Amino acid sequence: MAEGQAGKAFYFEDYYEGMVTDSISYDVTKEEIIEYAKKWDPQPFHIDEELANASHFGGLTACSAHTFAIFCAISQKWKSGVVQQVLASLGFDELRMLRPVYAGDTLVSRSTVEVARLSRSQPRRGVVRSHCEMLNQNNEVVFQLYAAFLMQCREQLV
Amino acid sequence: MAEGQAGKAFYFEDYYEGMVTDSISYDVTKEEIIEYAKKWDPQPFHIDEELANASHFGGLTACSAHTFAIFCAISQKWKSGVVQQVLASLGFDELRMLRPVYAGDTLVSRSTVEVARLSRSQPRRGVVRSHCEMLNQNNEVVFQLYAAFLMQCREQLV
């Protein structure tokens, strides 16, 4: 999708199966990994840098909740600048941490629409299901899931 | 499981299929919902109390990432006080927000072990897969997922 559509509302009718979108990028810092994990997942290897360096990971890694939070934050911020008209999350499947996310990594979320259909139960609503991945600066997939959202339709088309 | 085993290490061999455990409880505050969502999911209905009150939710609700973070935080803190010897997450399936999580709710995580088996690829490791739910103060299930973890075995038993 072309960049430079900042602020444009993106409705259900704008999605199509096979559509691929990239998010803005996100720099993961050591400070944020430690701060997040102290509150939400205080395992020693997420908050103690020396211990993490000596572990088989060889460095501090973001906890699962932090990685998912980064996904939630950037996957709604597309490079194109459009604003997705999301009404509700319908759930997430096959959430996998495929590689460690290290301090210093830069992540991008890439989504591929697999299903885009009208809601069977709710008028003027669409269901969009996408396969989403986060890639690091080496183009390695570090995270994946399938996400389904309820989307708003353009009023006049319904 | 009996309470009062605070600090006891809980290894793969201690899990069994059908085992049910409850976590400590967690109070969800308005301030935390807003603070979390501002950083990770700044949708208006997660951060603007007036708008949230006027929405069909009728109040501020925690975003998905916040709800998952609460699950990660409390699901490792069992009422019994044991310390699970988790080595790594193997992934999460069928993550669903079944009801809104409101400011003022008190959540508990309940896990039921569905599979407990030795790892096929890694010696001295076990795989434990559980169905996990979070319940609110009205005993309503607000969140569910299936979680699989790689667990440490007791050295002497392997």
Digit-coded pLDDT (tens) for B78-92:
999 998 999 889 999
Interface test with A, best of B72, B124, B125 (most A CBs within 10 A): B72
On whether residue B60 sits in a domain, the answer given is yes
| CA of A157 vs chain B CAs: smallest distance (Å) | 23
DSSP code of residue A139: S
pLDDT at A156: 58
Contact B100, B61 (CB under 8 A): yes
Domain count along chain A: 1
How far does B18 lie from chain A, in Å, by closest CA?
23
Inform me whether the C-beta atom of residue A152 falls under 8 Å from chain B C-beta atoms.
no
Judge whether residue A128 has pLDDT over 80: yes
Q: Is A125 helix (H, G, I), strand (E, B) or coil?
A: strand
Above 80 in pLDDT, residue B155?
no
pLDDT at A7: 87
Instruction: Determine the residue of chain B that is closest to A85 in CA distance.
Output: B43
A78 belongs to a structural domain: yes
B29 CB near a chain A CB, below 8 Å? Answer: no
SS3 of chain B: CCCCCCCCEECHHHCCCCCEEEEEEEECCHHHHHHHHHHHCCCHHHHCHHHHHHCCCCCCECCHHHHHHHHHHHHCCECCCCEECEEEEEEEEEEEECCCCECCCEEEEEEEEEEEEECCCCCCEEEEEEEEEEECCCCCEEEEEEEEEEEECCHHHC
In this prediction, residue A4 carries a pLDDT of: 66
Q: Is residue A3 part of a domain?
A: no
More confident: A80 or B113: B113
Q: Is residue A1, in this structure, part of any structural domain at all?
A: no
Cβ separation A69–B73 shorter than 8 A: no
Q: Which of A33, A43, A47, A89 to mutate to test the interface with B (most CBs of B within 10 A)?
A: A89
Whether B2 is in a domain gets the answer no
**Closest chain A residue to the Cα of B94, Cα to Cα:** A93
The reply to whether B3 falls in a domain is no
Does B1 fall in a domain?
no
Q: Rounded to an integer, what distance in angstroms lies between the CA atom of residue A131 and that of residue A145?
A: 6
The first and second tokens of residue A8, run together, are 């444009």
Q: Give the largest Cα separation in chain B, rounded.
A: 60
Contact A65 B72 (CB under 8 A): yes
The interface predicted TM-score (ipTM) is: 0.93
B117 touches chain A (CB under 8 A): no
Is residue B147 over pLDDT 50? yes
User: In this predicted model, what pLDDT tens digit does every residue of B2-47 receive, in sequence order?
Assistant: 566 888 999 999 999 999 999 999 999 999 999 999 999 998 889 9
The answer to whether B91 faces chain A, any CB pair under 8 Å, is yes
Q: Encode pLDDT of B93-126 as tens digits.
A: 999 999 999 999 999 999 999 999 999 998 899 9
Minimal C-alpha gap between B109 and chain A (Å): 14
- For residue A69, what are the domain limits? 9-152
Interface probe with A: pick from B40, B63, B97, B124, most Cβ of A within 10 Å: B40
Burial degree of B27 (CB within 10 A; 0-12, 13-18, 19+): exposed
Which domain CATH number covers B69?
A: 3.10.129.10
Chain A residues with CB inside 8 Å of B64's CB? 72, 89, 92
The pLDDT of residue A45: 84
Report residue B158's pLDDT band, with 50, 70 and 90 as the boundaries.
very low
